[in-house]
């Protein structure tokens, strides 16, 4: 027994010394490195917020708390802009609408495009040829070709000329999804999975037409695997080792789009899709690169609209007063046929209703965990006061901005679509809401996405009641933020029983997309 005790004691002694060395030598090393790498900020730079653990403290905080970390810093210091020292570098955090407005105006010195190009190359695992084409004249000199500039112009033009057709196709797809749901009778569904399929198919049908590759369940599944596992790809190295699921999903979608663009299938797609094909091939890009660019287009179109649709449904159906108000608004824009057997919802008018749009905006406000990012390409003064240094990055975290009581008023924690009404008591700054980005980087498809989601919501509230499995609505909570998107998906399943409303049973339904 004595021998055993001695061995045990030696083991404990060894652990104690190891622990002691860790407690004293590691911190000493860190503080020594801190002296080596510590910042010497310019007096005009934003206030420095030192981490509790030198060098790595903020990095640990960001990894641990993600977007909530910036909210914690805002709540503690209440500073309009701060400097976070990380690994000997600096990261600027902008927290107030007035400074964001200034950042948006200085879009050349504070560049979104540099980060956008880097993300595109890394997420798409683009070829050297495509990468060079993206970087060439990325500043957009009018006298030279620019794939970045021409590509964005094509997106805006395609959405302008093809909006009516895209809205119609998306609405018809949403209607078909709800008709199929109705045919199943009283049934329990995972609302998240159902909304994911409904919105994904509606958006991609609108983009790609009758030969939409996403109609293939294997492609749709590959796309979702890609979206949900793509974060490590942003690092730009060892993609197939760091995220094999994302790469496998990407491969499936790319192969499908090589077939789509290799035939004449794309000629049946939207103006936007045909325009992108023309501009990308004009830069002599390969079919492989064309397919990769199109996969990224799908990612951009789905990564935020899909979770927003779920949150809109959840908030509307979980709040009886909100549900009643939404139904009243929708019923006022619903017309019955002479026989009374057919009802037409005027989606064109409802999409312009400020309260209904407010439902979507509040879903975005509540569940935005992304951040607007800018690369500082030259020393720049923000508001003629705060110096940000060339070679650094700047973030505008959405979650903390969306929950500033000073900005949003005393009801900041309430889900209130009325706050976006023109006659709302608390007036909002034009830069307070970041659900669609802002400035020159405003989401070009925001109206299309809003109309599609409202189509799903308005048709659902008109025809069905949703009864949660637990007998009461339980917040499914935000999942860990996806770095490539703005809106978080739900952490928990949302299981509901779909019940036909008795007062509208056995009716035929349709949408009117025009505003007549």
Residue 154 region by backbone torsions, left for phi larger than 0, else alpha for psi between -120 and 50, else beta: alpha
Which residues contact residue 464 at a Cβ distance below 8 angstroms, ignoring those fewer than 6 apart?
Answer: 181, 182, 498, 499, 500, 501
What distance in Å separates the CA atoms of residue 289 and residue 124, rounded to the nearest whole number? 9
Tokens 């600096």 -> residue: 90
For 97-209, where are the E strands, in sequence order? 110-111, 187-190
Nearest in space to 233 (alpha carbons), one of 241, 225, 243, 223: 243
Six-digit token string for 190:
């995972």
Nearest in space to 351 (alpha carbons), one of 167, 503, 475: 167
How does 226-252 read in b/e, with b if 16+ C-beta sit within 10 Å? bbbbbbbbeeeeebeeebeebbebbeb
Q: Using DSSP, state whether 88 is helix, strand or coil.
A: coil
What distance in Å separates the CA atoms of residue 513 and residue 458, rounded to the nearest whole number? 13
Annotated binding-site residue? 247: no
What distance in Å separates the CA atoms of residue 330 and residue 212, rounded to the nearest whole number? 31
Q: Report the binding-site residues.
A: 443
* Residues tagged in the binding site annotation for heme: 443
């Amino acid at each position: 027994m004595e021998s055993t005790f001695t061995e045990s004691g030696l083991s404990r002694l060894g652990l104690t010394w190891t622990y002691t060395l860790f407690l004293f030598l590691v911190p000493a090393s860190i503080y020594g490195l801190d002296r080596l790498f510590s910042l010497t900020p310019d007096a005009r730079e934003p206030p420095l917020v030192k981490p509790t653990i030198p060098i790595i403290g903020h990095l640990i905080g960001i990894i641990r708390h993600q977007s909530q970390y910036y909210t914690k810093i805002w709540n503690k210091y209440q500073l309009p802009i701060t400097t976070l020292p990380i690994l000997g570098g600096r990261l600027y955090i902008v927290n107030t609408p007035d400074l964001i407005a200034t950042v948006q105006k200085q879009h050349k010195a504070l560049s979104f495009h540099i980060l956008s190009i880097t993300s595109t190359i890394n997420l798409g695992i683009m070829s050297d040829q495509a990468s060079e084409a993206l970087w060439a004249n990325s500043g957009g000199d009018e006298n030279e070709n620019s794939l970045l500039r021409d590509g964005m112009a094509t997106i805006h033009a395609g959405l302008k000329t093809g909006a009516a057709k895209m809205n119609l196709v998306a609405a018809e797809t949403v209607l078909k999804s709800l008709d199929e749901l109705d045919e199943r009778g009283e049934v329990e569904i995972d609302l998240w999975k159902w909304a994911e399929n409904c919105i994904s198919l509606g958006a991609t049908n609108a983009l790609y037409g009758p030969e939409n590759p996403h109609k293939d369940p294997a492609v749709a599944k590959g796309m979702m695997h890609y979206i949900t596992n793509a974060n490590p790809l942003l690092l730009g190295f060892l993609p197939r080792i760091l995220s094999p699921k994302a790469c496998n999903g990407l491969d499936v979608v790319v192969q499908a789009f090589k077939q789509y663009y290799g035939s004449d299938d794309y000629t049946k797609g939207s103006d936007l899709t045909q325009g992108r094909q023309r501009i990308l091939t004009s830069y002599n890009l390969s079919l492989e690169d064309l397919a990769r660019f199109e996969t990224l287009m799908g990612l951009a179109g789905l990564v935020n609209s899909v979770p927003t649709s779920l949150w809109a449904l959840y908030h509307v159906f979980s709040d009886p007063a909100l549900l009643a108000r939404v139904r009243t608004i929708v019923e006022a824009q619903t017309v019955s046929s002479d026989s009374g057997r057919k009802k037409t919802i005027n989606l064109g008018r409802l999409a312009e209703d400020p309260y209904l749009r407010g439902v979507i905006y509040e879903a975005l406000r509540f569940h935005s965990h992304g951040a607007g990012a800018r690369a500082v390409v030259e020393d720049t003064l923000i508001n003629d006061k705060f110096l940000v240094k060339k070679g650094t990055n700047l973030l505008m975290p959405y979650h903390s901005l969306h929950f500033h009581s000073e900005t949003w008023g005393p009801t900041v924690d309430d889900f209130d679509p009325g706050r976006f009404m023109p006659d709302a008591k608390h007036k909002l700054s034009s830069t307070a809401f970041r659900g669609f980005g802002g400035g020159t980087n405003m989401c070009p498809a925001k109206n299309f996405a809003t109309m599609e989601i409202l189509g799903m919501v308005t048709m659902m509230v008109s025809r069905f009641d949703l009864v949660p499995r637990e007998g009461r609505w339980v917040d499914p909570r935000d999942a860990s933020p996806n770095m490539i998107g703005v809106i978080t998906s739900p952490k928990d399943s949302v299981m509901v029983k779909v019940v036909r409303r008795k007062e509208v049973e056995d009716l035929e339904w349709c949408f009117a997309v025009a505003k007549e």
